Structure formats: C-alpha cells, structure tokens
Structure 1
C-alpha cells in the first residue's frame, strides 16, 4: 500500500487529485490518512485472508478471485467516473482495465517486481490451478500454461461482468491486464529490467512515501542504550512466518553478541524471554529506524528490501513466498547481505547468515549501494501520468 500512497502524494504535489481504492484494513486506512490521501474500500481486507490459521488453499483462491473481480467492477465503476486514468497494482488486478476501457480513460498496470511478467529468463511462479507437467522446461510453454491458470481463475467472472457493461470477452486475461507497456515501480539497481522480457517495460523507480514520524521515546532509549541491535520482522507474513522464528532469531543474534529489535507484524511475533537485550515494536517508521540497526532480518518483501537497501544497512532475507526469493537473490548478488537458503531457519543457519551480514565488507557494500538507490520514482511516475 505504501507505494500507492507515495504515488498519490506525488500526484497531489503536481496539482492532481488522487484517490486510492484499497482493501479496508486498519493499517492501510491509517497509512493513507497519514499521507493525506482519500481512500475508498475495495474488496475484503487482506488481513482476513493472510491471517487465517493456514495459508490460503487453491480452492479458496477460486472462491476469492470472482469476489475481487466483482468488487473492482462495482467500486472502480463508480470511483473512476470523471477520472483521467486508472493505475492498477496487485497480484492480478483483473477488472480494472475493463472499467477504464468502458469509461474511455487511460489504464496503467504497475508492478513492484518482474515475477509475473512473461520472460525467457525465468519461469512463472506458483499459481492456483492445474500445475505444469513435471519435467517441463520450455519457458514459452510454462508461461502459456500460466496464462491458462489465470484464465481459469479470473476469466469466467471477468467476461461475465464485461458482458453486463457491453464489452466483448477477453481471451487472455493475464496479457490483457499486463498490457504491452507495464510499469515497473522498482529501483533499477535492485531490480534491473533490461532484456528481461519482450514487453516494453517502463521502469519508473520505486514509489517511496516520505516518512517524517519520530521514533517512540522508549524505542529511542533502547537504541541509545547499547550497540546497534539486529532488527527482525516478517511484515504481513502471518500464515507463512517460520515456526518459532522469534526464539530462533533471538538466539542467533545473541550468538553474535547482538541485541534484538523484534517487529511484531501480522504474525504477532513476541519475545521468547525477559531478556533486557530485546525490545518489541509494532508499526514503526522504518526509514528512521533502519539506519540505526546493525542488520535487518526480514521476509524479502519489495518494500522492506528497498527501504533496507536505501538505509545502507546489511540484510538477511528469509524468503517465504511469491517474489521474495527474487529479492533474496538480488541482496546476495549485490553483496549487501545474505540470502537464507531455507524458509525455516535454525539457530545455526541464521547465525551463519548473520555472520555474512555483520561483516565489515558487507556493511561497506551496503552503504555504497544505499547511496545508489533512487528516491524520485513516485515523482517520475506522476509526471508520466500527467503527460510530462
């Protein structure tokens, strides 16, 4: 959600009006209110999906997809009246372009990584539906089968709603949503796009929202009370966070003589004991916090990876799902941290990864790369939308 808020603020600064249609999660509402951006609820809350006791099943995905399509037609069909453009993001925002086409306004698909864009350099990620045959290696075939899975998920509902508003059916939902000119809202150092796909990628840079909030007095006091701690957080990975990750991370940090700053997140991480060397935070200004820690252990979401890289602080990425393995590989390739090989760390494996991240060489490289991260991506995108 933060990149959308960053784009909306950049549009406002150029004199445009911007409204964000987003799931009705309290965290999202608070973020957009802080940014001064109007919000319209769209679909079910994300937390209601990802905080279930078990990760969403394939069956649940086939129930959810039509609901999302219907919500986009209903909500955007009203909100986009009188607008000049619709910018859509998400795993597969089927329904947004259809509304834009019906209204005769501009449509842009923006993504935060390359994972869902057909490419001869990598295979498609996992998606609910009929899996590709075991042993299939032809990437063109694999991406065609990915398109078939998208059609199965979204096609019936999408084309039913299109018929209701007088639009012809879509044969390839994925490619229709992506367009031939998708925007990539990711930093070119962290996510280079040249030659990665046959589509004409427009790379704007990451959409960052400036955060001027001060850190809480108690947190500031903890930071000042000793050497920089190691930050550990898994963001919204409620159903996917490794079992006992808080205890494992604390023991691994202590093996290096480091204090621990634990982010509660949607997984509800908490302290394993009463040790004075540990502190728990809730929602926090990462832009202010990350430069003050020794290393950042996280799941590898696009936003956390970018904010960590920009801070010049080394990272340990423990990838769990979706685009996270890609960000882990980039952190490792750039020499700004370590990519944890397994989704479930042990004390020994996480201690070894922290050994890399806490080295002077990694710190120096992280500082260097941090200075190369662009901060004007939202402004670049806003100007493109405004025709400049």
Structure 2
C-alpha cells in the first residue's frame, strides 16, 4: 500500500509527516510526501529516507518576503489547490490513502484528488484550535472579522463555515468543476471531514470533551533526531552553567536585530548565557562576549535537554520538543495557534506565556524570571515524563490496519 502525505507549510508542518512516514515504512508501506520545495525541508525528509515530491513555491521566500497584497490571496489559494491536486493525482493510485495538513487550500487540493481517485483520505490538524469545538474560538481572518457581539463558541464556529466559504469556496469549487467534481456547499467540513485526526500530545494539547466533532486523537507525531550537536556548541555548553535557548523558527520577526539584542540583554539580566538560533528571521548581532553563541539548524531534541530554558514562538513542534526534554519555556506567540500553546505552557506550570508578540528586555526578562524558578523546573521535569512518543506509530497502524480504516473518509 502507498500512503501520500501532503502539506504546505514550514518545518513544523513537514517534520511530523516525516515521523509518520518512518513508522509507515517500518510497517511495509510505500510513502511519498508532497511538500514545498525549500532546501531545508527536502534535506530533512532526505535524511529520514523519505521521498519528497516538491509542490508549489518556496515557503521560506513567501514568509520572509514582502506580505502579499489582499488582492493576490485568491490567486495564490487557487494555485495551491491546483498544484496539490496535480501532485497527489500524479503520486497516488487505486488502493492508496492520502493524509493532508498544512494551509487550507493545499489540503483542499489533496482532498479533491483523493475523491477523484476514489481513495481514502484523512485530514490531520497539528493543534486542537483549528478544529471546531465549544471549548475555543475559531481563528479570525483579518479580512473576515466576526461580529463583536457574538461570544458563544458554537455560534462562532457556525459563522466560521460562512467565513471559509467566502475565502475559499469559489476557489475550491472552480477547480473542482474544472476536473469534473461536483461543488461542495461547506468547504471547511468537506476538507476536514466528519472525523479529522489530531496529532498532538494528550497532556500538552488535549481534545476536550464534550465536543461536537468525532476526532481521532493519535498523539504527537515525532521524528527522532539522532544528529550529534556541533563540536563548538558542545564546547560552549560544557564551558559553564546551562544557557537559555532563544529561537523563533520560521517566524520572520521583523526588526530581527533588535529582537536578538532584546533576547541577549534579557537573558543576561537573569545572569545566564544564551544560545540563539538564527532561524528564518536571521537573528544575529555583533557581540564579542563569550556568553553568547549563535547556531543554525540544530538537533533540538539533544540541545533542549542541556539548557536552562527555551524561549520560542510557540510552534507545536518546538513546544512539544521542549516539554519532552523537561526544559522550562517562555513562549512569545506570533500567529494562529501559537497563543494557544503559550496558554498551555502557562496552565501546565512548565513556563511562562509572554504578553504579546514583541518582547522588550524588561518583559522578556520578567517571563524568564518565572521560567527559571526551581518550581517551574520541577514541574517541567514532571510533565516531561507524561509526554508520549508513540503518536506516529498509532497513526501508522490506523492507516494500514483494515480494522482501523474507519478513521479515514471514503472518497469513492
């Protein structure tokens, strides 16, 4: 059996699929991953021995370039729908299965391809907040705000159907008509299906009951990382007390040099050394002090076990990796699901949620003061022991075992 995994997103979207791919291959399946053509994503999949089908334009160039004009968004969405439809059609065949995540138009294209091929399909969310639930609000698009007087979550999720139709309905249905598929009235639920999957750790990102949606909660999909840390980084770690790690992943962090300066000054205010990951923002600054070390791509699973705290943007993958390592966290959320993960870190007592996306030296130092207390470290250590590592294995068995295939939407 072949399984086609599909996403349009950054490392945090691709890495879980690589983790699932390894488990599927261990069970004898053939796996291909349709993903953006960024070199670092291709290298990540290649290192895991997973075949990649490059689709669409570079995510990094999109994220770090000038923001697109609102008038460009429908054209970009249409391109993603068509590109991922074509990629899945060229990659999958009879008897296969498709698993999709990432930006909504890319998942919509994969969903239509699965339907056209008459094969099974699952939509997976990497955070609870994108799935309809009475326990949280839907994400609000700036061009489609919800009425301020509406506060009931169930009512907001009903309004979200109209929002998604307004944003993506015409794009999706125009493409469906072009390939001989019937239009759909509710594009959100068509793509999500009535039984979506959720790939989060049940402690860190629980699916709360009661809920209106039947969700297959597999646990987080983790890709093991066996790479050694660079020798110069190990030498820095060995040269003193555990440093604080600062990294914002794929977030552009406008004014990145100022952000780096703020981070270094805030960590120093706590009497700590600092390791800064340049990330897609290219964090950097000229500093001759020997208490500051800059890194690029690095094994976070190995590094986070050796740091005093992790300051990050609140991506699902980074939050889970830090939690597994027992490292206290400071989350500086930027967009979409990141405020949710910041809230979960604070609620669990394993770190602090920074108030807003733009830290100052004072605000970041204060949050670090919370994260660096012995009590937070003890709580982080305790929670680390509860974080599961078998989510990808659970999902792989559901995909391949006939008894578990009721978790997939039939597209015939």
Write the mapping of 1:273-292 to structure 2, written as runs, cut at 5 A. 273-292=287-306
C-alpha distance in structure 1 between counterparts of 2:149 and 2:332, whole Å? 27
Contact 2:135 2:208 in 1 (8 A): no
C-alpha distance in structure 1 between counterparts of 2:175 and 2:235, whole Å? 55
Listed one character per residue, the Cα deviations across residues 179-219 of structure 1 (whole Å, up to 9, x for unaligned) are 11111000000011031631101110000011100001111
C-alpha distance in structure 1 between counterparts of 2:219 and 2:24, whole Å? 15
Listed one character per residue, the Cα deviations across residues 24-51 of structure 1 (whole Å, up to 9, x for unaligned) are 0111100000000000011111112110
C-alpha distance in structure 2 between counterparts of 1:252 and 1:176, whole Å? 46
What is the Cα deviation at residue 239 of structure 1? 5.0
C-alpha distance in structure 1 between counterparts of 2:27 and 2:147, whole Å? 50
Contact 1:65 1:153 in 2 (8 A): no
Listed one character per residue, the Cα deviations across residues 6-62 of structure 1 (whole Å, up to 9, x for unaligned) are 000100011111000001011110000000000001111111211014x45543433
Among 49, 68, 75, the alignment partner of 2:87 is: 75
Contact 1:94 1:154 in 2 (8 A): no
What is the Cα deviation at residue 276 of structure 1? 0.8
- TM-score, with length taken from structure 1: 0.96
Question: Structure 1 242/269 Cα, relative in aligned 2: closer, same or farther at 3 Å?
Answer: closer
Q: Which ranges in structure 1 are unaligned for 5 or more consecutive residues?
A: none
Write the mapping of 1:166-245 to structure 2, written as runs, cut at 5 A. 166-195=180-209, 197-238=211-252, 244-245=258-259
Partner secondary structure for residue 121 of structure 2: strand
Contact 1:233 1:298 in 2 (8 A): yes
Q: How well do the aligned residues superpose, as a CA RMSD in angstroms?
A: 1.5
4+ runs of 1 displaced by more than 4 Å? 239-243
What is the Cα deviation at residue 126 of structure 1? 2.0
C-alpha distance in structure 2 between counterparts of 1:162 and 1:26, whole Å? 31
2:24 is matched with 11
Number of aligned pairs?
387
Q: Does 1:62 align with 2:74?
A: yes
Contact 1:242 1:345 in 2 (8 A): no
C-alpha distance in structure 1 between counterparts of 2:293 and 2:95, whole Å? 46
Among 98, 112, 116, the alignment partner of 2:130 is: 116
Listed one character per residue, the Cα deviations across residues 357-387 of structure 1 (whole Å, up to 9, x for unaligned) are 1111000110110111000110000000002
Partner secondary structure for residue 19 of structure 1: strand
Bigger shift: residues 8-17 or 140-149: 140-149
What is the Cα deviation at residue 342 of structure 1? 1.9
Q: Does 1:146 align with 2:146?
A: no
- TM-score, with length taken from structure 2: 0.91
